[in-house]
Amino acid sequence: MTVKYREGSGDFTQDNLQVDLTTSTGQAVTGSPWVTAETPVCTIGTLCEGEALQLQGLASAKDHAGYTGSGFAAGFENVGNSMTFATTVQQAGSYDLAMRYANNRGGDGQLETRTLSIVVDGGTPVTLRLPAGESWDEWKQTTAALDLTAGKHTIRIERSASDSGRVNVDSLAVVPSGAAYPTPTPRHRRSGLRLRCGL
């Protein structure tokens, strides 16, 4: 049996590990040790929690306050680390990929604007710039412009070889160009909102 691993591609996942086996009858079998997971969908104009996207080489963490959802996606410490989602565009045009993130002094000792790459359907990467904040508890927002055609797209945000990574991502959204960052889905405030409507 041969186990193949793509060198330098981060943690073992379904995307970089393959098992080849020749049975006693000579039959060649190729398999993946994981069932392929469906890519999470992030609807245009809605806030999507970073920790709920398809993560490769990133951990779901909650050791810094102020996040929404159940935590944040932490890391981008290695080249090849990525977060992926699918989205469907109804109307072709200009969109912003907006991200809520934290960036402070990294494990490499640097306090600087970091970058990640946005790759739509495997196309030419678009650079996302992430200026540093005052601490790892400060959540900031940044955007990058994307031209999207109508239809379904797979969007991957990755640390490429030319990116500096090392940021935490609380949430992101794809919104029409210039639109405000969406608010998170409220979890425990529905009764309070109903009360206010009644007054």
Residues that bind Ca ion (CB under 5 A): 49, 67-69, 72, 170-171
- Min. distance of Cβ 57 from Ca ion in angstroms? 18
Is 115 within 8 Å of 99 (Cβ atoms)?
Answer: no
| Cβ closest to Ca ion, residue 46 vs residue 160 | 46
| Cβ closest to Ca ion, residue 73 vs residue 132 | 73
| Cβ closest to Ca ion, residue 96 vs residue 170 | 170
- Min. distance of Cβ 83 from Ca ion in angstroms? 12
Closest-by-Cβ residue to Ca ion is 69
| Cβ closest to Ca ion, residue 9 vs residue 103 | 103
Q: DSSP strand E in 68-189: where?
A: 72-75, 82-89, 93-102, 114-120, 126-130, 140-148, 151-158, 167-176
198's CB contacts (< 8 A; 6+ apart) are none
Is 195 within 8 Å of 120 (Cβ atoms)?
Answer: no
- Min. distance of Cβ 69 from Ca ion in angstroms? 3
Q: Parallel, antiparallel, or unpaired for β 59-61 and 126-130?
A: unpaired
